[in-house]
DNA sequence: TATGAATGAGCATTCATTCAT
DNA sequence: GATGAATGAATGCTCATTCAT
């Protein structure tokens, strides 16, 4: 036997997944344009035509990564909505749960996050979508009396997105802080502010 | 006569500035890779060799734009440092001054801001630099007792940078809010937080 | 059961014929180069390796179609030779018989005719061969006194081939005229000409 | 001086014309698909980008050749219309003038003729257009009493086109007959037919 | 100072064909 | 007999950059 001329256990699905993963590495490292199909296939140990066996085009594989990111993030964001009837004491830690999950996802999927959140033309759109979802959650929570009533929750949501994206890069991706730590700090800042007590 | 084949009053300096400005338009609109030197010169009404008379390369003109952005932003950020001895009442509006100036600059230089803040490989570096400067300011201000002492000012600075970048795109560039309005909202959020009073 | 993954009753011969027929469709519709083996097999519901089980190559299947056309046409042309001893009255309709048979064949085998007569590199050769055969017939018939003796029968034969090919496309393939009608018109023109009587 | 790195006297227009001419050679010899841009530029002694300096694409240069052929042929065909009031004696030689001009054009532009008349997807369209123009001429001439009134002139026109295309290939392009000879023979056949007098 | 003309180097994509099973 | 998977070898086209003038 010996699998001559073929990578160990490389059936179609695996090959596809492997290409997708390597493509994510490359796109994340070099950006869309500087990433060459030739590099991807080289690292995957296949030839160029094989690439086109699994993906329509370079653009298509990139889109697939983005869509994957967007879908997962959407779900996580929707799931982070607070239930009603919480008492104010438990609020911070309840919020932390959803935020930690999102940061955890970013932490575990750095390449995907870089691509979807920072390098694609759709990044803005994705962030807008997330901000929109967060706005819905916050507004609803504001009505439940969890937050000050004199603030525009869309602005808060956009700010939160900005904070998340920035701290994700500077702390999470650098391994300087853990998702739950970061979540707590963000919440601490956003709930109580900087003012001297 | 005498000006045939040449734009009215297009001496070297003007031509250079014109190229730089058009390049900023193009880079901001299409990104680095999708912007072609051929497009820039076409819009500028000059030939390709002329472009290389003024700029070393496509990369070089891009860098020049970035450097210009970085320098101006650095200066503004440094200038936003608070003087000592302020009383707590005037704090918010004093902070707003510097922040407004920065947002004003972004608002008036959208192309440059897009390029320097959102599309270049140096964007991270620039934001880090800004965050560093802000951290210094905040830490100093914290020591002056303006802010809670139990918060890591680097994290706050990074958060602030994130908020600024996000609101710049979603509100400032859309013309939805003015620099000073936005500055106030940001400060309001960061000083007092979301908690129900 | 037992036929799973295989078209009902698709034994080797049938499958081969099916591929041949579909290939004829495709070649006739799109030409040699624009026809892809992948298309042919897709329409035939088989895989590419199966194609190569029945045919040496894309070129080979094309050649087989051409050869088939050429052989059938040769036979028909040879059969259209007039017998000796005809009287001049019956001449036109006797000629019409052979010509009709050829046009009938074209009409019933449009794909094959397009391929063999109009799209292959051998088309010229095929037409030459037909012209040669017709020349023999005409010359023989000229010797029998059926035609003017002052005309070069090779030129006439080539002209006839030209007329046939043109009217085949413009009338026969469009369904505008029937083989026997067309035959009569051609003969009418070639025998009596355009001159005002 | 010495024109180093540049072909003798190769300004833009000449280069373009040279490429066009070589492309005509190649297309005529090998067909559209088998002709590679790389071959054309090699024979022209330029690089591939130079090709794209003058032509949008391989398709575009091919179309330019076809359009050129079509336009010239259209003009010649229109010019071949007979004036009214000719007496029947001079008819044949008057017809011969226009036909000779067309054949002369084919003879002097073999490559262009091959491409436009025999190898392009538009060939049918071009022939139809020519047949249409000829039909107009013939019908008008028929009304002037030059031709039998019981024949459908569209059919005759198509037949004439068929004859012309065939004899062009077999006699003209082979150098076996001159345009005027061929014109006379065609007219002789079409006017008087094959019948024994 | 300015340009018409040219190119080196590269890239995404295609397709007929072939193994190993 | 049949196929899932793979590829060798091209090919059209692009673009930043540079001469010769």
Q: Round to whole Å and give the CA distance between A96 and A109.
A: 19
In eight-state DSSP terms, residue A82 is P
Which residue of D185, D195, D197 is in closest CB contact with C155?
A: D185
Which token pair is C173?
């393939």
Is the CB of B42 within 7 Å of strand F? no
Which token pair is D107?
């003879």
How many CA atoms does the CB half-sphere of A144 hold within 13 Å? 16
Nearest nucleotide to D16 (CA to C1') is: E5
Q: Worst-scoring range by mean pLDDT, A63-67, B146-150, B180-184? A: B146-150
pLDDT of residue C5: 44
Domains and CATH numbers, chain D: 12-55 (1.10.10.60), 63-191 (1.10.357)
Which residue of C88, C163, C194 is in closest CB contact with D162?
A: C163
- Residue ranges of chain C whose pLDDT lies below 50: 1-9
Per the CB < 8 A criterion, the answer to whether C179 and C108 are in contact is no
D54: CB partners within 8 A, 6+ apart: D12, D15, D16, D19
Q: Round to whole Å and give the CA distance between D27 and D121.
A: 13
CA of A117 to C1' of F9 (A): 39
Residues 37 through 56 of chain C touching chain D, CB cutoff 8 Å: none
Q: Worst-scoring range by mean pLDDT, B9-23, B47-61, D157-171? A: B9-23
pLDDT of residue B140: 85
pLDDT of residue D189: 94
In eight-state DSSP terms, residue D51 is H
Which token pair is B45?
């009404």
- Residue ranges of chain A whose pLDDT lies below 50: 1-9
Nearest 10 degrees: Cα torsion D18, D24, D29, D30: 100
Is the CB of D19 within 7 Å of strand E? no
Q: What is the pLDDT of residues A37-85, one digit of tens each?
A: 999 999 999 999 999 999 999 999 999 999 999 999 999 988 888 777 7
CB contacts of B192 in chain A (<8 Å) are 148, 193, 195
Q: Round to whole Å and give the CA distance between B60 and B37.
A: 12
CB contacts of D197 in chain C (<8 Å) are 148
pLDDT of residue A195: 82
Q: Do B166 and A148 touch (CB under 8 A)?
A: no
pLDDT of residue C9: 45
CA of A37 to C1' of E12 (A): 8
Q: Round to whole Å and give the CA distance between D103 and D158.
A: 16
Which token pair is A115?
């691509």
Residue by residue, pLDDT tens for chain D (197 residues) are 333 344 434 577 888 999 999 999 999 999 999 999 999 999 999 999 999 999 999 999 999 999 999 999 999 988 888 777 777 788 888 889 999 999 999 999 999 999 999 998 899 999 999 999 999 988 988 888 889 999 999 999 999 999 999 999 999 999 999 999 999 999 999 999 988 76
Which residue of A145, A161, A196 is in closest CB contact with B166?
A: A161
Which token pair is B156?
């706050």
Q: Which run of H or of E encompasses B74?
A: helix B58-79
- CA dist list (Å): C72 to B4, C19, C122: 72, 20, 15
Q: What is the pLDDT of residues B159-174, one digit of tens each?
A: 999 999 999 999 999 9
- For strand E, the positions having any atom within 7 A of a protein Cβ are 1-21
Nearest CA in chain C to D30: C121
Helix (H, G, I), strand (E, B) or coil at A196: coil
Please provide the DSSP assignment of C91-148 as one string: HHHHHHHHHHHHHHHHHHTHHHHIIIIIISTTHHHHHHHHHHHHHHHHHHHHHTTSB-
Which token pair is D191?
């006017």
pLDDT of residue A126: 95
Is the CB of A36 within 7 Å of strand E? yes
């Amino acid at each position: 036997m010996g699998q001559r001329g073929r990578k160990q256990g490389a059936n179609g699905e695996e090959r596809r997944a492997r290409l997708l993963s390597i493509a994510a590495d490359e796109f994340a490292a070099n950006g869309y344009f500087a990433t060459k199909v030739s590099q991807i296939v080289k690292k995957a140990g296949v030839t160029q035509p094989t690439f086109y066996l699994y993906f329509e085009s370079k653009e298509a594989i990139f889109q697939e990564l983005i869509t994957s990111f967007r879908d997962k993030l959407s779900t996580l964001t929707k799931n982070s909505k607070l239930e009603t009837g919480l008492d104010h004491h438990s609020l911070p830690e309840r919020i932390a749960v959803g935020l930690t999950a999102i940061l955890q996802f970013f932490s575990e999927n750095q390449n995907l996050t870089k691509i979807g959140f920072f390098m694609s033309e759709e990044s803005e759109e994705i962030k807008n979508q997330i901000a929109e979802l967060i706005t819905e959650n916050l507004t609803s929570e504001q009505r439940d009396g969890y937050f000050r009533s004199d603030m525009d929750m869309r602005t808060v949501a956009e700010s939160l997105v900005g904070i998340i994206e920035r701290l994700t890069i500077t702390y999470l991706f650098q391994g300087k802080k853990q998702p739950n730590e970061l979540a707590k700090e963000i919440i601490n800042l956003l709930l109580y502010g900087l003012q001297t007590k």
